[in-house]
Amino acid sequence: MKKEMKKILVTGSVGQIGSELTLALREKYGAENVIATGRKTKPSKALLESGPFHFIDVTSIASVEEIVKKYNIDTVYHMAAILSAVGEGNPQLCWNVNMNGTINVLELGLKYEMARVIIPSSIAVWGKGVPLENTPQETVLKPSTMYGVTKVAAEILCDYYVARFGLDIRGLRYPGIISSETLPGGGTTDYAVAIYYEAVAKKHYTCFVRENTVLPMMYMPDCIKSTIDLAEADFNKLMHHSDFNIASMSFSVKELADAINKYMPDFKVDYAPDHRQKIADSWPNSIDDSCAKEEWGWQPSWNLDSVTKDMLEKLTERHKKGELYPE
Ligand code: SER
């Protein structure tokens, strides 16, 4: 029988996805039932005032367990991770946070017989030898970054815990996530968010990858919907667990800039590719997500034009209030 998700812990709740996911979970499951946690970044007012918040260190099992015990946690959304670009600056830190954080959450999932553990993966699992167009669910996983190494290892580890211990674990390979509330921290796909912020703040953006770079992307409302839909899906219908391909849209930076120009004709982009170009080039252009569609009914709602319109409206509002680049 499917165990109920009543008390939810979100790690990495101050991050780009965690900050909006936590609010969505509080809306759905009740504010007092969703415990937000972060490492050291100051949480937003919205996060702090809408429910419980604690600082923890996911690399210390005792630190996570304290919260699990205190609130009788039965579900974890484990969003805490070091992303690709920062991970290349400090691969050891990336391994420590991503791998030890993950196994600590899995061990607590077992010990406290949790209902569900959600651990996201990423397009960073791919690298050399992968078909770049319509990348299939099952294909070669040879990442070129430490972030990718940890995501492949975590997928395999999670599937092992499902098969060996029967722990209910789920995860998706997120593409680059575009969002208007919290800036991403240290990823390669960050340009697809920064371009909107800079368009609104300065009408100019210097992009760190070439204009013909194409990567898969997704808007935050679709990201949250996919995450919660997968968490709520019927376990018996899932053939996959921790490694679902998921897609929404793919575009080049040039197409992204053109989409912004439609609403903001005087916006200009120039290009100064850096070390992140190599990472971007190792990731697919587009992804086959038919397993997610078949097994739990995934369907995206946003496209480049609707995202652009919404992002520019939201960021213009935030810019007027002086909130675009908070301390
Ligand atoms: N957005 C992530 C990164 O760029 C990919 O999952 O590192």
Residues 147 and 210 in one domain: no
Residues 149 and 270 in one domain: no
Q: How many domains, the chain? A: 2
Residue 315, domain extent: 180-217+250-283+302-320
174 Cβ below 6 A of ligand 1: yes
How many angstroms does the Cα of residue 83 sit away from the middle of ligand 1?
6
| Ligand 1 mutation pick, 189, 208, 209, 278, max ligand atoms within 8 A of CB | 189
Residues 133 and 187 in one domain: no
The whole-model pTM stands at 0.96
Residue 134's CATH number: 3.40.50.720
Q: Is 112 known to be catalytic?
A: no
How many angstroms does the Cα of residue 122 sit away from the middle of ligand 1?
7
pLDDT at 2: 61
Closest CA to 80 of 140, 134, 128, 19: 19
83 Cβ below 6 A of ligand 1: yes
41 within a domain of the structure (yes/no): yes
Closest CA to 176 of 132, 133, 122: 122
Residue 315's CATH number: 3.90.25
Residues 62 and 163 in one domain: yes
Residues 53 and 65 in one domain: yes
| Ligand 1 mutation pick, 17, 83, 193, max ligand atoms within 8 A of CB | 83
> pLDDT by residue for the chain (327 residues), tens digit each?
567 879 999 999 999 999 999 999 999 999 999 999 999 999 999 999 999 999 999 999 999 999 999 999 999 999 999 999 999 999 999 999 999 999 999 999 999 999 999 999 999 999 999 999 999 999 999 999 999 999 999 999 999 999 999 999 999 999 999 999 999 989 999 999 999 999 999 999 999 999 999 999 999 999 999 999 999 999 999 999 999 999 999 999 999 999 999 999 999 999 999 999 999 999 999 999 999 999 999 999 999 999 999 999 999 999 999 988 866
188 Cβ below 6 A of ligand 1: yes
Residues 172 and 261 in one domain: no
Residues 138 and 200 in one domain: no
How many angstroms does the Cα of residue 148 sit away from the middle of ligand 1?
9
Residues 138 and 88 in one domain: yes
Closest CA to 41 of 25, 22, 18, 59: 18
Residues 191 and 222 in one domain: no
